[in-house]
Structure 1
């Protein structure tokens, strides 16, 4: 297990210095989920200064650092389920998830849920001992049931297109399974769809102190061509009016300059 070595400074509403703490007690307080009924969706992404969502290897991990890792672990420890697009899970090499063992709540299971229109599940997950939950439409459900146990398939078809995934219904289905705390980790196309449907309660963004130039998409990408590993969608996701966001806090890693912001969208 990787260990954290980067201290953090809280700039907003600080200032406050957050020394290294194996249990991450103060970070857990800062990222405590807002109370409420029903599903709660938090998205966590990393971006370069010039807006790139991944580095030269087309993976988000290549632009993250130790400061980002600290927050990443705290967010996973607080979630009930991690939600990702199947293409992102395939491209980033997702396997069955475990909570950080040295953080509170490590004894609780952490579920992985895939969003996939086609129903195809990455082989490394389909063959694992703990297959993911699969959120898909009617046609995708038939494919998914051939890859994972039927009770892991959540068929939530859109009323407008039975082969499309109704994300709102998918979140409700997860909550009914006792998984209301959702952590969305990507990719950019899924985040765009979630934002377009007004399903994201807060957005955590790490700004990595580097530039990658043209090529990588933003963390929100309407075009499937701009997001490696994302499955094609039959139509582009339309641009939406600007969504107001309120800054809950801003962390700064003094050694690297990395910034970590928690934005509340509700």
Structure 2
């Protein structure tokens, strides 16, 4: 792993550098200092060179061992992981686990042993007997709208999940999702998609940071991009905060200007 930007004493043109430790990754991806009441929403996604956000419906074929180490690091730094229901179904989501490597860092930051998983869903068409809902280390949140199906809301609550209303209709308001989580003390926020949910956060103007892994692969076909949904009226420009490289993968971090 080598850092290409910003230039520091870890910047090196030499190939074959040793893999970064988890502590080095945690420092590289640390959340910015937050003022009282402030919150920060970052997204973590992977894309092929030709813009695919997935292959055969899953992101794993585009990933790498280092990408998964960064994925785990970003989770370990977050208060909450926000994910769409379709991604939960496709990627086989499980509860976040406590990781000994990050225990001291989380304790020092006033965090619990593992991040909360928050699932965004309008229909609540989910299997609430799965471990994500029935046996998490910390209760899973289910964010939905005020007019969501009452029987599905009851099923979610019966599983042990906490149902949070974050919209006036059947679906959620992305800006309200961020605020509802922050009101619960979950201010360091991470979304892992899917593309439709990320697109909603982008369109609502509430995304603060995009951590994008660019995979040196080509897929062609008609795979979805990393962000879908409504088109923004004016393209949003971000600024490059960090750029790492290993084995042809580029690990980027872009932040709101």
TM-score (norm 2): 0.85
Counterpart for residue 264 of structure 1? 255
Equivalenced residue count is 238
1:180-221: CA deviation from partner (whole Å, max 9, x where unpaired): 111000000000000000111000000001001122111011
- Cα-Cα RMSD: 2.1
Equivalent residues in 2 for 1:1-266 (5 A)?
Answer: 8-14=1-7, 16-17=11-12, 19-22=18-21, 24-36=22-34, 37-55=37-55, 57-103=56-102, 104-105=105-106, 108-123=113-128, 124-125=130-131, 128-130=134-136, 132-140=140-148, 142=150, 143-149=152-158, 152-158=162-168, 162-222=169-229, 237-253=230-246, 256-266=247-257
SS at match of 2:134: coil
Gaps of 5+ in 1: 1-7, 223-236
SS at match of 2:106: coil
Shift of the 71–118 alpha-carbon distance from structure 1 to 2, 3 Å rule, reads same
TM-score (norm 1): 0.82
Shift of the 109–126 alpha-carbon distance from structure 1 to 2, 3 Å rule, reads closer
1:50-74: CA deviation from partner (whole Å, max 9, x where unpaired): 000112x321011100121121121
Counterpart for residue 226 of structure 1? none
Gaps of 5+ in 2: none
1:21-64: CA deviation from partner (whole Å, max 9, x where unpaired): 44x22221221111224221000000000000112x32101110
1:148-182: CA deviation from partner (whole Å, max 9, x where unpaired): 34770001223xxx222122222211112221111
Contact 1:73-1:100 at 8 Å conserved across structures: no
Shift of the 87–20 alpha-carbon distance from structure 1 to 2, 3 Å rule, reads same
Shift of the 172–117 alpha-carbon distance from structure 1 to 2, 3 Å rule, reads same
SS at match of 1:138: coil
